[in-house]
Structure 1
């Protein structure tokens, strides 16, 4: 791997940190960059987790200091997510990408349509939606379903978490993003433990990308807090469209 490849990967990691901190989806930048640089798909997943867990955790700390984090949701879902993502990482080689990509594309298109045609979604909190049953449902969806997906594939995990929390519990986009960061840290940890155990992590490269990811995440978290839910909504739509385009190209090109 040449110096130019490393520079591109560091820049991609910084951009991914920014995107992940705002709405999730940083894997859209990191994973393709690693693959283009010649890293094998499984090593790309493992190495990207080193960068992602560093950036996401730093963004989670920044959000927690400045806005409300739903701890009743974040703590149990975050702990469950470690196991869920670990199981997903174990299954990463067994789930055909050709089967998974179309399902993710359909889900992302549904997210884009939902956010577009419901402009009030996430703009303000709707606490009346919060019931004990809905909290349990959100914990299961985030800590099992979305966490498993993060271990298997990854890109868009933060986006799916934000949409789940705004629709199930009525959180606004900023608080949903803040809570998602804690759970996303859990999914990254679970997947990273498995990939590291299997020997699929390029540690020197991953740690270098982690530093850049933290820098991008800090900028993104502060922008999201300063600009509010309307900004997060716009970035979310842009990221969803970009992810659908990327997955469609991988599937059909």
Structure 2
């Protein structure tokens, strides 16, 4: 546990709570939590920042997943299959990460995200009951979700990472015809699988600040439970609004990272 001032500790805990809320509603909590840890712990090695982030995030994600699973129509078996594929994909992405320049990837991801934002804004029915009431999901779509959504986005998570939760929500809604609330619920279960794999690796390497993570995890869990319940209560339109805010925030962060690199 590094020497941290009380003010820094309070700010980190508040950031963890806010990140838990964002992640539970639509994904993307790492947009807030990782920068907060980097700014609050400037002299801590990056591996310890990433490991501590995973230890905090998995608690809130698990709490949100349980909350959603109790009240949203989530197909847990399918979600776990997608999660295992994402875990395998993230390991593959991590293997190739050393040979890929993030400066090359950032502009590509920014263009993709802007396209996503335009699509969501121009198609107001996306992720609502009117858009998802298209009959039973075929076996082919389920396999596509496992291979493309799980494996593909999992690979991206291991290779680069930012916005993985948001991409999961969008892809699950599109491929499996899920409304945005159910897509968020399913994404949480997938995130638990990927976070668990990453956390095991970081823990094995001794790259987790457990005392700090335990304290921040309490606040992250509180934010996640509040966010999941709010998303369930307010519905897909609310999630859609938060989604657009997160997408534009992610674009802004990637642009800032690109221009200051």
Question: In structure 1, which of residues 54, 60, 66 is the aligned counterpart of residue 65 of structure 2?
Answer: 60
User: Which residue in 2 is equivalent to 1:96?
Assistant: 101
Separation of aligned partners in 2, 1:92 and 1:35: 21
Deviation at 1:91, TM superposition (A): 5.0
Separation of aligned partners in 2, 1:25 and 1:110: 17
CA contact (8 A) 1:47 1:206 kept: yes
The answer to whether residue 166 in structure 2 is matched with residue 159 in structure 1 is: yes
CA RMSD of aligned residues (A): 1.8
Deviation at 1:93, TM superposition (A): 4.9
TM-score by length of 1: 0.93
CA contact (8 A) 1:129 1:168 kept: no
- Give the aligned length: 253
Q: Pick the structure with greater CA Rg.
A: 2
Q: Can you give the 5+ residue segments of structure 1 that lack an aligned partner in the other structure?
A: none
Deviations 1:51-95 (A, max 9, x none): 111101100000011111023420211222233334444555554
Q: Can you give the 5+ residue segments of structure 2 that lack an aligned partner in the other structure?
A: none
1:12/1:138 CA distance change after superposition, 3 Å: same
What is the DSSP-based 3-state SS (H/G/I as helix, E as strand, rest coil) of the residue aligned with 1:149? helix
Separation of aligned partners in 2, 1:200 and 1:18: 25
What is the DSSP-based 3-state SS (H/G/I as helix, E as strand, rest coil) of the residue aligned with 1:219? helix
TM-score by length of 2: 0.90
The answer to whether residue 68 in structure 2 is matched with residue 75 in structure 1 is: no
Moved more, 60-69 or 91-100: 91-100
What is the DSSP-based 3-state SS (H/G/I as helix, E as strand, rest coil) of the residue aligned with 2:135? helix
